[in-house]
């Protein structure tokens, strides 16, 4: 694969490696696939009617991975990408996605990624999505991910969603519908700085008996950035739902948290927690008594908080 | 040797209440000094001033003849003063192993970290635990003490170390103090516990921000027990 240094940096940030991964993958650069691989159990098929992929994971597929990172390095590129994951019953796979934008120009670069997961009975997925931006210039680095999850009976989805630095504007929309005994775990980690804005919206429908959802969002808002967290959990059956928004606010930033619970039956057990505050001075003091400077202590606390 | 000369501390609010008034103390190297006194007598403020958390309103503090009065928390820590907080702090996302690495100032092996935990009666499984509200008060207290032990400090201040060690025997805490003393560490322990006061070379009794009494355990303990000032 012929890649610029910036594109290599994006893929390294998003996938955690410079290497082409084993298993199924599709590497997308500036609107085009530059490398694609299917395996015996995972078929990666380009859509015919629009931009994106259909990814078919055979029932019973275990210990396999799918990597579908996206890089944008052309100034002013705007794209909508639709990826559908069809996960067969009893499968257990890891999906690594995410997008990075390098923009050093004056026009906005925009990626709207729409990911739909159709998870079969007793299947398990771990979805890791990292968003990243860099490059000086007034043009925005804008990423708007939409994640839709349908969880079949007794299935499980773990979503690890991370946006650490560099993305100027993002609207993150995550919806899920859970069948009987299905389980959704979301771990969201966000860091905004400068004048960046984040809107993170969740809507989870707990439809099946004994379905569970746990949304854990932690964020740091620095400088003059703004964050909005809205999470709605709807209990339509005997179920358990929990959402937590924990934010550290710094400088002149703003954080708004609007958790909502909607219980449609007395057997729905729903909890929400939201905590916004600055870094506790006792935490800084403790680390400084161990020999760290205030800046080092702040950095340790921020890194730990977002882990 | 740590020396406080005429150290006073007043609050900065409108009341300007005097919390410490002209305190002069010498903590000799390798000694164990116990500081006791009723609530509000200024014990924790004295510790905060030695650590650098609060600045003295007047007076001087010297460490091995170097004036450290105007140094901040970090600089004093780097000069070998350590502090075990009375109320351990939650550090969300930071593991016990990471804390011990920070405390020791270098990357330490899992074996060394395990040894550090064993000194406070915790198993190696705790190394991966996050220092958050899922740990009990007793566990947090022991991790706090372990973090201080990992510093290999010259001077350690313990603020009511006996508080919250419900799951760990008091005997082990006393053993830790004895071992530190034999390792030539200067100890300053704020406590109301008779068994800790007994270990001291000198007991300082604070009251109303002033030194009310000073002396050996043999001299002061019977009086403190009689007054019900220790348990």
Look up the pTM and report it: 0.84
Output B172 or B166, whichever has higher pLDDT: B172
Which CATH number does the domain housing residue B211 bear? Answer: 3.40.50.300
Whether A119 is covered by a domain: the verdict is yes
**DSSP 8-state assignment for residue B89:** P
**How many domains does chain B contain in total?**
1
Whether A305 is covered by a domain: the verdict is no
Output A200 or A14, whichever has higher pLDDT: A200
Who contacts A162 (Cβ-Cβ below 8 Å, separation ≥6)? A128, A129, A130, A131, A188, A189, A190, A306
Say what percent of chain B tops pLDDT 90.
Answer: 79
Contact B93 A291 (CB under 8 A): no
CB atoms within 10 A of CB B59: 17
Tokens encoding A59: 């029932």
- pLDDT at res. A3: 85
- pLDDT bin (cut points 50, 70, 90) of residue A1 is low
Q: Find which of B74, B90, B100, B152 to mutate to test the A interface (most A CBs within 10 Å of its CB).
A: B74
Instruction: State mean pLDDT over A159-175.
Output: 95
Contact A304 B85 (CB under 8 A): no
Residues of B near A (CB-CB distance < 8 A)? 51, 53, 72-74, 77-78, 82-83, 85, 87, 89-94, 98-99, 102-103, 105, 147, 151
Domain carrying residue A208: 5-281
For residue B176, pLDDT over 70 is answered with yes
User: Tens digits of per-residue pLDDT, A27-75?
Assistant: 999 999 999 999 999 999 999 999 999 999 999 999 999 999 999 999 9
Is the complex ipTM more than 0.90? yes
- pLDDT bin (cut points 50, 70, 90) of residue B18 is confident
Residues of A near B (CB-CB distance < 8 A)? 246, 280, 282-283, 285-294, 300-301, 303-307
Closest Cα in chain A, distance from residue B89 (Å): 6
- pLDDT at res. A192: 96
From A290, A293, A306, residue closest to B103, measured CB to CB: A290
- Residue A167 · residue A137 · CB < 8 Å: no
Please name the residue of chain B whose CA is at the shortest distance from the CA of residue A293. Answer: B74
- pLDDT at res. A21: 84
- pLDDT at res. B166: 64
- Residue B21 · residue B209 · CB < 8 Å: yes
The mean of the pLDDT values for chain B is 92
Domain carrying residue B27: 2-227
Contact A289 B93 (CB under 8 A): no
Whether A163 is covered by a domain: the verdict is yes
Tokens encoding A239: 């179920």
User: Tens digits of per-residue pLDDT, A113-141?
Assistant: 999 999 999 999 999 999 999 998 899 99
Whether A306 is covered by a domain: the verdict is no
- pLDDT at res. A158: 98
**How many domains does chain A contain in total?**
1
């Amino acid at each position: 694969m012929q890649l610029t240094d910036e594109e290599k940096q994006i893929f390294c940030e998003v996938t955690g490696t410079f290497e082409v991964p084993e298993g199924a993958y599709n590497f997308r650069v500036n609107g085009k696939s530059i490398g694609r691989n299917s395996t015996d159990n995972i078929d990666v098929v380009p859509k015919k009617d629009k931009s994106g992929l259909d990814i078919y994971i055979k029932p019973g597929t275990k210990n396999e991975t799918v990597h579908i990172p996206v890089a944008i390095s052309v100034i002013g590129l705007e794209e909508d990408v639709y990826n559908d994951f069809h996960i067969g019953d009893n499968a257990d796979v890891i999906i690594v996605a995410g997008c990075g934008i390098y923009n050093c120009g004056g026009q906005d670069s925009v990626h709207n990624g729409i990911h739909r997961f159709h998870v079969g009975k007793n299947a398990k997925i771990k979805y890791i999505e990292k968003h990243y931006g860099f490059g000086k210039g007034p043009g925005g680095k804008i990423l708007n991910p939409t994640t839709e999850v349908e969880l079949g009976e007794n299935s499980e989805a773990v979503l690890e969603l991370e946006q650490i630095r560099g993305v100027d504007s993002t609207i993150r929309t995550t919806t899920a519908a859970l069948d009987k005994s299905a389980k959704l775990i979301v771990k969201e980690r966000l860091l905004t700085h400068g004048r960046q804005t984040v809107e993170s919206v969740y809507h989870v429908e707990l439809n099946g008996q004994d379905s569970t959802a746990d949304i854990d969002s932690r964020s740091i808002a620095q400088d003059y950035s703004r964050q909005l967290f809205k999470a709605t959990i709807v209990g339509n059956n005997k179920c358990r739902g929990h959402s937590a928004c924990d934010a550290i606010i710094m400088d002149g930033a703003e954080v708004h948290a609007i958790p909502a619970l909607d219980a449609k039956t007395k057997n729905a057990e729903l909890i929400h927690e939201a905590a916004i505050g600055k870094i506790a001075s006792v935490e800084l003091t403790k680390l400084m008594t161990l020999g760290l400077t205030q800046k080092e202590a702040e950095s340790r606390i921020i890194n730990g908080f977002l882990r | 040797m740590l020396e406080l000369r005429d150290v006073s501390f007043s609050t900065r609010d409108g009341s300007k209440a005097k919390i410490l008034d002209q305190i002069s103390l010498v903590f000799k190297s390798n000694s164990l000094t116990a500081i006791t006194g009723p609530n509000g007598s200024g014990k924790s403020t004295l510790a905060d001033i030695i650590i650098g958390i609060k600045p003295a309103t007047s007076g001087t503090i010297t460490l091995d003849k170097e004036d450290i009065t105007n140094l901040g928390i970090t600089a004093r820590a780097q000069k070998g003063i350590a502090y075990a907080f009375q109320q351990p702090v939650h550090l969300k996302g930071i593991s016990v192993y990471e804390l011990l690495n920070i405390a020791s100032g270098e990357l330490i092996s899992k074996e060394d970290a395990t040894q550090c935990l064993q000194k406070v009666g915790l198993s190696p499984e705790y190394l991966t635990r996050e220092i958050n509200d899922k740990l009990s008060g007793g566990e947090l207290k022991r991790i706090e003490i372990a973090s201080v032990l990992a510093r290999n400090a010259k001077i350690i201040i313990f603020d009511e170390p006996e508080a919250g060690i419900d799951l760990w025997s008091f005997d082990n805490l006393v053993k830790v103090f004895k071992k530190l003393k034999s390792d030539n560490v200067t100890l300053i322990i704020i406590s109301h516990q008779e068994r800790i006061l007994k270990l001291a070379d000198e007991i300082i009794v604070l009251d109303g921000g002033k030194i009310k009494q000073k002396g050996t355990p043999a001299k002061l303990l019977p009086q403190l027990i009689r007054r019900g000032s220790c348990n």
